[in-house]
Amino acid sequence: MEINTGVKIKMIYALNINPIVKRSYVKHGTSKISFSQQINKDLFVKEKDEISENPQIVEGKKDLIKQSKYLSDKNLTAGSGGNISMRVGDKFLISKAGSLFSDLTEKDISVLDSNGKLLDGEKPSSETPMHLAVYKNRPDVNSVIHFHPVYATVYAVANKTMLPNILPHTTKHFYDLKVAPYENAGSDELAQKTASQLGQSEALLLGNHGALVVGKTPQIAAKTADSLENYAKISYLLENSCFKYKQLNKDNVDYMVNSAKSNK
């Protein structure tokens, strides 16, 4: 019995996949594919189509592209260094391996499930385990950005954080900033230590690597990335100048820290 490869899924279900039909074969070029294999193939294509056409995923991709351009325009990374992701329901969007923030397109964004299984798109970023570990540990986070900003990375390589409590907004958003110890890029060790060291903070420096920020939306995460690098630059310039800097007093610090906690 020869089955047309263009047979529709609703017709497949109607056949009820009985043992006789399952042993039947369809011709596909010069090779033969079992009827059950054809069913799985058609279902996979259908599932991919449903994912790519999902309105939330379509809008999510547009948002990631917009924020990637913002990060590129701010010179917050170089080359293909960095990756951006977003939680959409029970699925995750993340930039593919080797993609550039400067010219990210919809085809450069992969769709995964919570276990990292690729549902649509090309090979995702090698840092996917790190993103998924953060999402698992932080249900309040819907976007993660890993990037290599110059000044923040200088501090990450020096294994130290910026001057504390020098500005109200940096005190509010980065009062609990830490440096995670170095682990190999893309490794499970990096993923687990990043999620653990991040805790409930908005940002984390990655030792000898770069930085990571999180947010409720890609836009918030991108703005946090910009603020982190601005903070690092101001701190670096103060530390390496003849100026005597003044830090906020304890009352000011407590006020900003409490304000940050009340917004979570």
Give the pLDDT confidence of 152-193 residue by residue, as tens digits.
999 999 999 999 999 999 999 999 999 999 999 999 999 999
Bridge partners for 92 per DSSP: 87, 112
The kind and range of the H/E element at 51 are helix 35-52
Q: Give the whole-angstrom CA distance, residue 205 versus residue 212.
A: 6
Domains and CATH numbers, the chain: 9-52 (no CATH), 55-262 (3.40.225.10)
Q: Give the whole-angstrom CA distance, residue 163 versus residue 236.
A: 8
List Cβ neighbours of 67 (8 Å cut-off, separation of 6 or more).
84, 143, 145, 218, 219, 221, 222
List Cβ neighbours of 44 (8 Å cut-off, separation of 6 or more).
none
Of the candidates 123, 126, 147, the residue with the CA atom closest to the CA atom of residue 229: 147
List Cβ neighbours of 124 (8 Å cut-off, separation of 6 or more).
94, 95, 96, 97, 110, 112, 116, 118
Query: Over its length of 264 residues, how does the chain's per-residue pLDDT go in tens digits?
Result: 444 444 443 343 344 444 433 433 344 444 455 555 554 555 445 566 678 789 999 999 999 999 999 999 999 999 989 999 999 999 999 999 999 999 999 999 999 999 999 999 999 999 999 999 999 999 999 999 999 999 999 999 999 999 999 999 999 999 999 999 999 999 999 999 999 999 999 999 999 999 999 999 999 999 999 999 999 999 999 999 999 999 999 999 999 999 998 887
Q: How many CB atoms lie within 10 A of CB 47?
A: 12
State how far Cα 160 lies from the chain centre.
Answer: 25
- Alpha-carbon separation of residue 229 from 29, 71, 158, 222 (angstroms): 55, 11, 15, 11
